[in-house]
Every structure is written in C-alpha cells, then in structure tokens.
C-alpha cells in the first residue's frame, strides 16, 4: 500500500483512488484543505445498493451528499469552529464489486483499514447499510471500541432472501462486537429474541421521545472509551428525512439526533463513522442537504472534543 508519486493518486493494494478536487469533493474544499497528506479526515463514497430489500437507488446517495455539501456554511456556530481547516480529503468512490456482497464488504474493509493505518479519521458515505460492515471491520483491525448504531431497524436477521450479506443483517454480521442500537422501531420476533438472548442493548425510538435524557444515559452507559458511529438515515422521522429506502413512522428528530451525537463525542472518543441509506428524490434536495450537514456536524463535534481533551 502506497501513495503514488503522482500528487493526487493513492494506490491501495493495487486499486487506485484519486483525491477529488473542487467542485467534486466534500464541501468543495480547495487543495490546501483537501489533500490526503494534509487532511485529518477522509471521506470515502461507496455507491452500492445490490442487496436493498425495498427501493433501490441508495447508490446515488454519496454523490448527492457531496454535491449538497458544497452549499454548506463551513463555520459551525455550536462549537465555534471551522473543522475544514483540519483538512478533509475526499477519495474517488469505491466501485461496486459485482462478484458478491461479501467481496464488496471486504473491499471496503481494505480501504478503511488502510486509512486508519495512515492515521486518518475515516468517514464512509453509503450506499446501502451493508457497506458499513466493511468500515466497522476495517477500524476493528486497529481499535477496541463500541458501535453505536442509529437505525429504524434492528438489522439482526441471520440471513435475508437466502444471504447472510444483506442490509437486513448488518448488525448480525458484527454481533461479536459490543454495540447499542438507538431509534429502532421495526424488527422481527426472531430479532427481538436474539436481542434478549445476547443481552444486546437497544434504546427504542419511543424511549427517546418519552424521556430523552434517560435514553441518552442508557446509551452512554453502554458506550466504551472509544466508539464507532453507524447512522442509517431512516433513524430520523420521515417528516424530517423522507429520502430513504425503507421509511418507518415515529422516528427521532434532527435535534434529538444532534443531542445524542454531541454527548457521545463529548463522553467517548469517536474513531470513525458512516452515514448511509440516502435515497435521493428528484425535486426534493432538503434531505440531501440534511445528510451533508449531518456529516459536517459530526466532524465538528469529534474534532472539537478531541481538541478539548488534548488540552486538558
């Protein structure tokens, strides 16, 4: 694995990736803030949706998030920071591996593992939720951590439509790791029983609505010193985020999600995250902008609290 002498080409075990320049990179950052060598964070787009179970089209999510991000204000008033100044590199997309979903997961894992070993902070943009398994396994090669899983669905099926590698099985594929699910409001009886048998922590969406502070306390009690965030956008209520493949009524609000994320970043060291399952709707760009804003907010929170902890 190496960085090519060509200034914008990265070679990862034979696969070549490009550092995207404006206007094609996240937030449209100029090269001094988006070169891989100088960047703190690395955005990895993964336009893949081969195992979607209802509506296809999440493959179009990553480019739409990046396009919407170019309209962001890069000052975050909540943290009084401009996190882009730490450097945010955007790689060219990980192209789909059509041989099998399992091989696609391995391909993502290889790239995320390399990014972590280079000392960068990885951010994966899906695509369907299955690609998050590759990201989780990639960071797992170098860190001991807890996964915090934001989702409308439990994603704990042992298999779906004859395959273990499905977006309905995401958390089952990483069930050997510690995790807590937040915002769930749709699951099968088998998934419910698996949760009980394995003592998996779950904070349901109704728990957040009924008592947000107590729900947050339960999440923080389950979190470790280091955490990885996996965020399926359908955790949000469809009135806020309609552009997902499998919308579920009764989700959490934008402000609830930020309330949880800020507290997690304050209390734990976040080592990477993904935002997945945007299914863009023609003529409705608000959800695309929400997803882009969410990515930037999390980066702002993570960097802000890392800096505060390092100055203690």
List pLDDT tens digits, range 203-227. 999 999 999 999 999 999 999 999 9
Of 271, 242, 246, 232, nearest to 129 (Cα)?
232
Query: Quick check: 180 pLDDT over 90?
Result: yes
311 class by beta-carbon count within 10 Å (0-12 exposed, 13-18 middle, 19+ buried): exposed
Instruction: Say whether the peptide bond before residue 137 is cis (omega within 30 degrees of 0).
Output: no
pLDDT in tens, 64-115: 999 999 999 999 999 999 999 999 999 999 999 989 999 999 999 999 999 9
147: its two tokens = 């996964």
Q: What is the DSSP letter of 93?
A: P
209: its two tokens = 């609505």
State which H helix or E strand residue 94 sits in: none
Higher-pLDDT residue of 2 and 13 is: 13
Average pLDDT over residues 176-203: 96
State which H helix or E strand residue 160 sits in: none
pLDDT in tens, 252-286: 999 999 999 999 999 999 999 999 999 999 999 99
Question: From the DSSP assignment, how many helices (H) and strands (E) are in the chain?
Answer: 9, 11
Q: Which residues pair with 230 in a beta bridge?
A: 149, 274
Helix locations, 91-234, DSSP H: 101-117, 131-140, 170-173, 189-198, 205-210, 212-222
Instruction: Band the pLDDT of 2: cuts 50, 70, 90.
Output: very low
Place of tokens 């080409």: 9
Query: Quick check: 144 pLDDT over 90?
Result: no
Instruction: Band the pLDDT of 239: cuts 50, 70, 90.
Output: very high
CA–CA gap between residue 275 and residue 229 (Å, rounded): 9
Query: Quick check: 130 pLDDT over 60?
Result: yes
Task: Write down the pTM of the prediction.
Answer: 0.95
235: its two tokens = 């955790």
Neighbours of 119 (CB within 10 A): 7
Q: Which residues pair with 269 in a beta bridge?
A: 226
Give the contacts of 216 (CB within 8 A, at least 6 positions apart).
Answer: 259, 260, 263
Query: Quick check: 1 pLDDT over 50?
Result: no
pLDDT value of residue 312:
56
Instruction: Band the pLDDT of 7: cuts 50, 70, 90.
Output: low
Dihedral (CA of 188, 190, 196, 200) sign: negative
pLDDT value of residue 152:
98
pLDDT value of residue 12:
86
Instruction: Give, in degrees to the nearest 5, the angle at Cα 149 between 147 and 155.
Output: 115
State which H helix or E strand residue 161 sits in: none
Average pLDDT over residues 30-51: 95
Instruction: Band the pLDDT of 190: cuts 50, 70, 90.
Output: very high
Give the contacts of 45 (CB within 8 A, at least 6 positions apart).
Answer: 62, 63, 65, 66, 90, 91, 92, 93, 94, 125, 127
pLDDT value of residue 5:
39
Average pLDDT over residues 282-303: 98
Domain 2-310: which topology? 3.40.800
Share of the chain above pLDDT 90, in %: 87
Encode burial over 179-216: b for 16+ CB neighbours within 10 A, e otherwise.
bbbbbbbbbeeebeebbeeeebbbbbbebbeeebeebb
């Amino acid at each position: 694995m190496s960085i090519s002498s060509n200034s914008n080409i990265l070679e990862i075990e034979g696969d070549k990736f490009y550092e995207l320049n404006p206007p094609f990179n996240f937030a449209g950052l100029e090269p001094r803030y988006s070169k891989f060598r100088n960047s703190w964070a690395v955005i990895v787009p993964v336009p893949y949706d081969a195992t979607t179970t209802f509506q296809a089209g999440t493959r179009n999510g990553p480019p739409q998030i990046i396009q919407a991000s170019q309209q962001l204000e890069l000052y975050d008033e909540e943290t009084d920071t401009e996190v882009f100044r730490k450097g945010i590199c955007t790689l060219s997309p990980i192209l789909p591996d059509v041989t099998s979903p399992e091989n696609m997961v391995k391909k993502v894992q290889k790239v995320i593992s390399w990014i972590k070993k280079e000392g960068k902070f990885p951010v994966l943009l899906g695509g369907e939720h299955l690609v998050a398994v590759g990201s989780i396994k990639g960071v797992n090669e170098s860190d001991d951590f807890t996964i915090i899983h934001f989702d409308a669905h439990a994603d704990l099926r042992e298999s779906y439509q004859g395959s273990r590698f499905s977006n309905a099985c995401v958390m089952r594929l990483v069930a050997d790791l510690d995790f807590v699910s937040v915002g769930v409001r749709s699951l099968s009886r088998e998934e419910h029983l698996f949760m009980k048998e394995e003592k998996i922590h779950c904070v349901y969406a109704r728990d957040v609505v009924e008592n947000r502070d107590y729900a947050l306390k339960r999440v923080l009690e389950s979190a470790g010193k280091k955490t990885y965030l996996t965020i399926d956008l359908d955790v949000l209520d469809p009135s806020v985020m309609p552009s997902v493949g499998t919308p579920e009524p009764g989700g959490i609000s934008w402000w609830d999600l930020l309330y949880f994320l800020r507290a997690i970043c304050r209390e734990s060291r976040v080592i990477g995250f993904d935002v997945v399952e945007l299914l863009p709707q023609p003529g409705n760009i608000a959800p695309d902008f929400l997803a882009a804003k969410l990515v930037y907010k999390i980066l702002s929170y993570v960097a802000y609290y890392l800096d505060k902890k390092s100055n203690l």
